[in-house]
Chain A
Amino acid sequence: MTQALRVESRSDGALVQAVLRGEVEAYGELVERYQDEYTRFAVRMLGTREDAEEVLQAAFLRAYRALPRCREPERFGAWLWHIVANECRTRATRRGRRERRFVRDEALLAAAVAPAVSDGDALEVIAQALDALPQDMREAFVLKHVEERSYEEMAEITGAGVSALKMRVKRACARLRELLEDFDG
């Protein structure tokens, strides 16, 4: 007779407490649980998967060192969002506009008017336009429309007020309309 072994995954709070009690390997479960959740955001903010991975490694390590300061271990994911957003902001600021991933490719943008634009081309075109936005507008647009966060969640992640975030999203849309005239309905 075989017996199925039920392994119940521990909550975020239980894993955080386990790490603080000395069970360092428990942090690996938190990494596994959350590593994909922020990858898309980091790639959209920074432009490349390589930069995103560096920032996510830094964010997970920063969170690890600051675990004693995590006031609500059950909300580790939300706390980590804040750290990831900060790391992306810091990296983007350090990189500066001189090292932007994209040079505005007029030919590619012009080609976007062609009726048969592939999904890959559409992503490239839109990613170019996104990269041209100021960082705070890019962050607000990605959180709202790509990550589909509520304004209250965005306020917690970014530390900005809801009104400011709404304005940033609105301005991001306006700027993207200018950059992507031919995508506008």
Chain B
Amino acid sequence: MADHHGTDTGSDAAFAARVAAPLRAAERLEPGFRERVMRQVRREGVPGVTALPVAVRPRRGAPRWLTGAGLAAAALAGVLLGRAAPPRAPTAASVARPDTVYVVKFVIAAPAAGTVALVGDFNAWDKQATPLRPTSQPGIWSVSLPLAPGRHEYAFIVDGGEWRADPAATRVLDDFGTESSIVTVGPAEVMRAT
């Protein structure tokens, strides 16, 4: 039997089987592997339940609010408008003053949801940490929280179990095969440059 590449797949299969046979021999780890892993696991504690440090001190006066750019028919992310910063090379983390607070508003349309939570690298992906609240507009949920300047990955958890990336934001497939969304926090000129 030949495939569309014109090679004989029958002899390929036979060759592969002969070559693979010795490779199928079992391999075992040194005894105590489980304990070596668990020693580190016990040091780290329960995953996803770590207190986040308060990284910034607010400047005098109200923090700058970064709000969404309006509702779309589907969900939308908090789009960021930064406070003015002195002209520098446009990278978010390098330009932002250390005591700058950026408050990001996350918004999603989920009319059928009973609960919506925000998870991300800023809350250790803990679905208990940041619930969204229904807004005055039916089916629209939101939450605002301070984020450090830089790039953040996030997603929404609907009804405790459904993972939902933000359809209006840039998406990324992480190393675990999970699709998350990206938000970059920083001054306005950084946002225009990215």
B123 to chain A, nearest CB (A): 10
> Which of B14, B33, B44 makes the CB contact (< 8 A) with A185?
B14
Q: Looking at chain A's contact residues, is the secondary structure mostly helix, strand, loop, or mixed?
A: helix
Whether A126 touches B16, Cβ cut-off 8 Å, given contacts A36-B29, A83-B175, is no
Chain A residues in 8 Å Cβ range of B40: 57, 61
Whether A180 touches B19, Cβ cut-off 8 Å, given contacts A35-B33, A40-B26, A69-B176, is yes
A165 within 8 Å of B (CB atoms): no
Stretch at the interface among A93-101, A103-111, A139-147: A139-147
A144 to B47: give the CA distance in the assembly, Å.
33
Evaluate contact between A71 and B124: CB separation under 8 angstroms.
Answer: no
Evaluate contact between B22 and A122: CB separation under 8 angstroms.
Answer: yes
Stretch at the interface among B5-13, B53-61, B106-114, B132-140: B5-13
Q: On chain B, which size bracket covers the interface?
A: 35 or more
- How would residues 24 to 46 of chain B score, 1 for a CB under 8 Å from any chain A CB and 0 otherwise? 11111110011011101110111
A140 to chain B, nearest CB (A): 11
Evaluate contact between A173 and B178: CB separation under 8 angstroms.
Answer: no
Q: A interface vs B, CB < 8 Å?
A: 19-20, 22, 24-25, 27-28, 31-32, 35-36, 39-40, 43-44, 49, 52-53, 56-57, 60-61, 64-71, 79, 82-83, 86, 119, 122-123, 126-127, 129-130, 141-142, 144-146, 156, 159, 169-170, 173, 176-177, 180, 183-185
